[in-house]
Amino acid sequence: MNRGFKIGIFDEEEKFISSIKLLQEKELNIYDVFTPYPVHEVFHLLKRKSKLPAAAYFMGLSAILATLAFLYYTAVIDWPVVYGGKPLNSFPSFIVITIVLTILTVTIGSLALFSARSKLLPGRENTIFDHRATDDKFVIVVETGKLDKSEADKAEKIMKDQGAIEIIDKDFENVNA
């Protein structure tokens, strides 16, 4: 099934932000916005939040426990060897490896989670609404399929009034974004 979208293109951040505000005031649902660099006000307006920090915290916690458990198993249970008269479970010298492996686990884990949640994989082709969004334009995408005709016109009018340089109507068969 084809899905229709209205794509507003802006060349200035201020105009783009004020359009988002107005569209939200009129409760015209914004599908997503695309920007050449992270705009913090957008995260605020669209209520975007990331749970990555919390996930990273728990990955780190489990990595610490797993590493210490592994070191204890190998050094104390499986093949105990006394080095220089030190105790088998020589915790202070385990700390370094634990820190390093925790950092490594958190890095790889949160990268994997990031690529899964953001749908980023080698060779993947996500729907690009407008090619200029990665260059110098700010793009607002409104899904018109979910709106009736008058609302879609209203959205177009708001974006035009705020100074959109172009409004494009486009249909996409499969949307990956």
Partner 1 sequence: MYNSKIRGPLVEGNKSLGQVTREVIAPLESRPGLWWTVALGLSSLATIYGIYAIYITVYKGIGTWGVNNSVGWGWEIINFVWWIGIGHAGTAFSIFLLILRQRWRTSINRAAEAMTVFAVLCAAIMPALHMGRVWLAFYIFPYPNTRGPLWVNFNSPLFWDFTAITAYLLISVSFWYLGMLPDLATIRDKTISKIRKALYGFFSLGWTGSSRQWIRFESLSFILGGIAAVLVVSVHSIVSTDFAVGVEPGWHTTIFPPFFVVGAIFSGFAMVMTLMVLIRKIYRLTDYITDNHMDAIARILIFISLIMGTAYLTEIFIAWYSGNKYEMFTFFHNRITGDYKIQFWGMIVCNALIPQLFWFRKMRRNWIALLSVSLLINLGMWLERYTIIITSLTKDFLPSNWVSYTPTIIDVGVFVGTIGLFATGVLLFMRYIPMMAISELKGVVHIGSKKED
Given the rule CB under 8 A, which residues bind partner 1?
32-39, 42-43, 46, 48-50, 52-53, 56, 60, 71, 74-75, 78-79, 81, 83-84, 86, 90, 93-94, 96-97, 99-104, 106-108, 110-111, 114-115, 117-129, 131-136, 176-177
Give the shortest CB-156-to-partner 1 separation in angstroms.
21
Nearer to partner 1, 77 or 169 (CB): 77
Q: Where are the alpha helices (DSSP H) in 124-174?
A: 149-161
Nearer to partner 1, 100 or 157 (CB): 100
Q: Is 163 exposed, middle or buried (0-12, 13-18, 19+ CB in 10 A)?
A: middle
Asked if 135 and 36 count as a contact pair (C-beta separation under 8 A), the reply is: yes
Nearer to partner 1, 157 or 172 (CB): 172
Q: Is 131 exposed, middle or buried (0-12, 13-18, 19+ CB in 10 A)?
A: exposed
Nearer to partner 1, 120 or 153 (CB): 120
Give the shortest CB-158-to-partner 1 separation in angstroms.
18
Beta bridge partners, 10, equal 138
Phi and psi at residue 4, to the nearest 5°:
-95, 140
